[in-house]
Structure 1
């Protein structure tokens, strides 16, 4: 029996078929021998599934058995789509030892996947290893974080030096480490996950449509003793926000507010969630007033403060949006 770890790479596509194929090519060039790749079309409805299937055939990927395509019946969001890959077996029916989740607009440098794999293999209590992420312009993306908290909500919304200094230990996005470092959680754009960890804590909570799903998963794992690491020598280029259209948002979408509320209520209770909402409102108000007085442009999306207020009070369509929580224990490997 081979000691080579079984690695399954997962790339989720939503209406970005050509970009997804670029990500697949980059992943295939970096994948160790024996690793396999699954592409998941998240019910794109724009012909992406056909484009992906034709590309797999034209490039001979499907004949090799190293690349497979999974079609989702509905767009349940980031977590639900990736869960289809996390439930998948290797082509020979065996279960993977590790899963590498890669965004469809992210491209690993050579050696990235192997570096992450080596890190998890020498750190047996590490459940997650995330790579360094930079934009096409070479600018670092912030991808290693502390868990959200009441103080962190206030500091992150206020964005004022004295407040940030006073609450330095609560800053959600501290400076990126330059050496492998244990962090609270890391972004899911390029992250290696130990299968044993998922067997312990379950898969992504599909209540989250987008945002906070990896934060929730890594927090659940941390509470059972698993750690998350940021590994800066593993590097990827990330275009960012291609499938979500975030760059063109006129305002924050309802699902961001819904995911944020679900995260706090689920993991800390309703009272804590209410206090976190108050902290965010207070900080955002300070930021808005400061921008008004100084004439500086706001760093918040248009209508963010009134939308946050209405959502917290359950007013309007966004505030009344109901979500049905799913227990992670109901969805495991």
Structure 2
């Protein structure tokens, strides 16, 4: 951890980047932050390597030294890969425990490039609205194509729509569909991607750190839900622009191409989210809704000879991970508030 974060000096903002085998992208992200950190003097950046098992630590550490970023950037090599939430918490926990903890914490993916003014736009917005606990950016593709997306919380009807994929049903269920197209003005939203999520310190003090029972996926959804239940709102701020290349570490969320087979931890995270927040019966209804919708989709796909762009073995893997087959919580941890203090 950079000494400035743990010292008595005031660090207004801590930026956390969790790296896993994406050293070159992480360095590009750091390079895009050079001018941004100047807009908020005292800002610190911590890169957590989760551990990659390649030369990421050496490569990122060397870049920090040779580029002259040591005054504001530092590197932590995690002892084990506990996932996205665990990696972020490794940097956030000691900062919260420092004599003068930062007011804000910005989670950034390593496969992002921060556009000019993105940091200031988020900080200015949240600083002027004490009821807002979390803010996020608008995204764009590598070629500059806008990707103005934020999200609603998953629910039974959204699971039906996710499986069915029928335009008229999506329109009828538009109030419940997870993916939400955003406009050019700031707007309240259920949750935003952890690729760019700025969090007020008081949110952590109210609900604790991110749930390390999630290895990857659904952890930011869960965190935003806990914040909302504690009275904090979440906002989309399109004036903050971030270039994001999705799926670089996992290959799961790539756009415009068929993704890889969904890993087990995706199904564990989904089940954990529904079980933790809604209980067994609701999770069973959500599972049944997706199965029914997807079965109808597969029949329509066969009749209309539509291309298959789903991950391999999606239906079989989903069935194996329903609460009808696995009725309990994933074996990681039972739901609990991960305290700020040990």
Provide TM-score, normalisation by structure 2: 0.89
Provide the rounded CA distance (Å) in 1 between the counterparts of 2:22 and 2:53: 11
Q: Secondary structure at the match of 2:146?
A: coil
1:184 to 180, 186, 190: 190
Name the CA distance, whole Å, in 2 between partners of 1:297 and 1:332.
51
Mapped pair 1:307 → 2:313: no
Residue 46 of structure 1 aligns with which residue?
Answer: 54
Counterpart for residue 71 of structure 1: 77
Could you report, residue by residue, the CA deviation over 1:153-196 in whole angstroms, capped at 9, with x for unpaired residues? 10122110121122121111122232100001111111111011
C-alpha deviations, 1:121-159, integer Å up to 9, x for none? 111111111000111122333541111100111012211
* Gap change, CA 1:82 and 1:128, over 3 Å in 2: same
> What is the CA–CA distance in structure 2 between the aligned matches of 1:35 and 1:250, rounded to whole Å?
37
2:276 maps to 1:266: yes
Distance 1:99 1:112 in 2: 14
After TM superposition, give the deviation of residue 5 of structure 1 in Å. Answer: 7.2
Alignment of 1:1-333 (within 5 A): 6-31=12-37, 32=39, 33-62=41-70, 64=71, 66-89=72-95, 94-141=100-147, 143-246=149-252, 247=254, 249-312=259-322, 322-331=331-340
* Aligned residue pairs, count: 326
Cα contact 1:100–1:191 (8 A) shared by 2: yes
Distance 1:69 1:5, change over 3 A: closer
> Greater helix share, 1 or 2?
1
Q: Where in structure 1 are there 5+ consecutive unaligned residues? A: none
Deviation at 1:45, TM superposition (A): 1.2
Task: Give the C-alpha shift of residue 287 in structure 1.
Answer: 1.5
Question: Superposition RMSD on alpha carbons, in Å?
Answer: 2.3
Query: Any idea what SS the aligned residue of 1:104 has?
Result: coil
The equivalent residue for 2:4 is none
| TM-score when normalising by structure 1 | 0.92
SS at match of 1:123: coil
Runs of 4+ displaced beyond 4 Å: 313-316
Q: Quote the Cα distance in structure 1 between the aligned partners of 2:240 and 2:94.
A: 25
Q: Which stretch of the first structure deviates more once superposed, 4-13 or 274-283?
A: 4-13
Cα distance between partner residues in 1 of 2:126 and 2:55: 37
